[in-house]
Amino acid sequence: MTLRNFGMGKRSIENRVQEEARCLVEELRKTNALPCDPTFILGCAPCNVICSVVFHKRFDYKDQRFLNLMEKFNENLRLLSSPWIQVCNNFPVLIDYLPGSHNKVLKNFAYVKSYVLERIKEHQESLDMNNPRDFIDCFLIKMEQEKHNQQSEFTTENLIATVTDVFGAGTETTSTTLRFGLLLLLKYPEVTAKVQEEIERVVGRNRSPCMQDRSHMPYTDAVVHEIQRYIDLIPTNLPHAVTCDVKFRNYLIPKGTTIITSLTSVLHNDKEFPNPEMFDPGHFLDKSGNFKKSDYFIPFSTGKRMCVGEGLARMELFLFLTTILQNFNLKSQVDPKDIDITPIANAFGRVPPLYQLCFIPV
């Protein structure tokens, strides 16, 4: 099943992302062009998009329950990026025997699951079988339709797990990419200026950017791709297990083997991307300045088990970044050449260093 099966087609979701982008701009205006840490605000926007799809509501950025939820996601990505968690990830047998930060991760997941279960119960009390409002409603209707099927995968337990996975995969990853992206745009103001020129020419000031604009904005599209390629957010992807014995080249991989893949080896391949350690939108532009696709662009992994939220994430990155740059100039607190873009966590996820900037209305 996909979001499209639940009535959440591209256009419907695009409207939700555009609405949240407008809310994001209003929150940024409240900073009054003063220096601010963008971590929190950039975390709220993608989380609210997921809330809109799953719960049929968005939250005010000061809602305490919303803040608690955000805190758990933020803390988990930070903890999951620690070397100790990577050891536990690769050797899960250790989890039951040793203390450590993995216990906090599990506690945070339990909090999120409890929150999701509360929302499910609320939906069950107000469910209209003929008028589903969101993902949870659609899932509950399928549960009712298959309640006599003992083999059905539409269960409350699977609903909780699915919603939790959607939040875990679709909030902190996108917000971290946005945060890293703005840091790179501060570091390279000449890139930012070219993006803003393209936004002015294609979109103007009288309407919001939309996904149809992307095909007319090759430089902006290249910048968004290069941000994802350069930051290499999840270097070793998520662990996967082999479901049956597999022969790969001259190797036999037994059923149950945990597979760790290196996305870095592809995203930073120096034959496909000259000077891969440099941030250069030209990696995705041909000699005529047209956008150039690359089979080596796999920040969402590849194959049947690639990230199911790729379409939503790419939509959010394009619309949030273009809407921000349509409405604001970015001002760094230090000279661009002195901006440090070295990640502060470099295990499961690459987290950018903390920084402040000013959003100057244009």
Separate counts of helices (H) and strands (E) for the chain: 12, 8
pLDDT of the residue at 84: 63
Q: Let me know: does 299 contact 232? Beta carbons within 8 Å.
A: yes
CATH number, domain of 39, equals 1.10.630.10
Could you report the per-residue pLDDT of 97-143, keeping only the tens digit for each? Answer: 666 666 788 888 888 889 999 999 999 999 999 998 888 999 999 99
Q: Is the model more confident about 4 or about 112?
A: 112
Of 296, 295, 294, which Cα lies nearest the Cα of 262? 296
pLDDT at 178 over 90: yes
Confidence label for 70 from pLDDT (cuts 50, 70 and 90): confident
How many structural domains compose the chain?
Answer: 1
Which tops the pLDDT comparison, 355 or 11? Answer: 355
**Residue 251 located in a structural domain:** no
Tell whether 269 is covered by a domain. no
pLDDT attached to residue 4: 59
Decide if 147 contacts 111 (C-beta within 8 A). Answer: no
Backbone angles phi, psi at 239, to 5 degrees: -65, 140
Average the pLDDT over each of 82-91, 231-240, 301-310 and give the range with the smallest value: 82-91
Angle at 336 between CA 332 and CA 337, to 5 degrees: 155
The reply to whether 75 falls in a domain is yes
Residue with tokens 């070295």: 342
Task: Give the lowest-confidence range in 39-43, 85-89, 154-158, 236-240.
Answer: 85-89
Annotated binding-site members: 307
More confident call, 273 vs 307:
273
Which amino acids are annotated as binding site for heme, given as ranges?
307
pLDDT in the model for residue 164: 85
Contact (Cβ atoms closer than 8 angstroms) between residue 255 and residue 243: yes
pLDDT at position 13 is 86
Domain limits for position 24: 3-214+221-232+312-361
- What average pLDDT score do residues 14-26 get? 95
Higher per-residue pLDDT: 9 or 123: 123
Alpha carbon distance 333, 355 (integer Å): 9
Q: Is residue 277 part of a domain?
A: no
pLDDT, mean over the chain: 90
Q: What is the pLDDT of residue 7?
A: 47
Interval 277-295 mean pLDDT: 97
Q: What is the pLDDT of residues 296-354, one digit of tens each?
A: 999 988 887 777 778 889 999 999 999 999 999 999 999 999 999 999 876 678 889 99
Looking at residue 354, what is its pLDDT? 94
DSSP sequence for 267-319:
HT-TTTSSSTTS--GGGGB-TTS-B---TT--TT--STTS-TTHHHHHHHHHH
Identify the CA nearest to 164 among candidates 76, 279, 265. 76
> DSSP states of 207-245 as a string?
S---GGGGGG-HHHHHHHHHHHHHH-SSTT---EE-SS-
Question: What angle is formed at CA 264 by the lines to CA 289 and CA 170, rounded to 5 degrees?
Answer: 85
Whether 249 maps to a domain, the answer reads: no
pLDDT at residue 1 is higher than 60: no
Q: What are phi and psi of 358, to 5 degrees?
A: -110, 135
Question: Residue 245 — pLDDT band, cuts 50, 70, 90?
Answer: very high
Q: What is the structure's pLDDT at 327?
A: 98
Residue 281's pLDDT is 98
Does any domain span residue 298? no
The answer, yes or no, to whether residue 67 has pLDDT greater than 80, is yes
Q: Which residues pair with 144 in a beta bridge?
A: none
The reported pLDDT for the residue numbered 8 is 54
Give the integer Cα–Cα distance in Å for 209 and 143. Answer: 38
Element (H, E) at 154: none
As to burial, measured by CB atoms within 10 angstroms (0-12 exposed, 13-18 middle, 19+ buried), residue 198 is buried
For residue 5, is pLDDT > 60? Answer: no
Among all chains, which residue has been given the structure tokens 């020419």?
201
Residue length of the chain: 362
Q: Is residue 9 part of a domain?
A: yes
pLDDT digits (tens, 9 = 90+) for 183-232: 999 999 999 999 999 999 999 999 999 999 999 999 999 999 999 999 99
- Residue 252 lies inside a defined structural domain of this protein: no
- Alpha carbons 175 and 45: distance in angstroms, whole number: 8
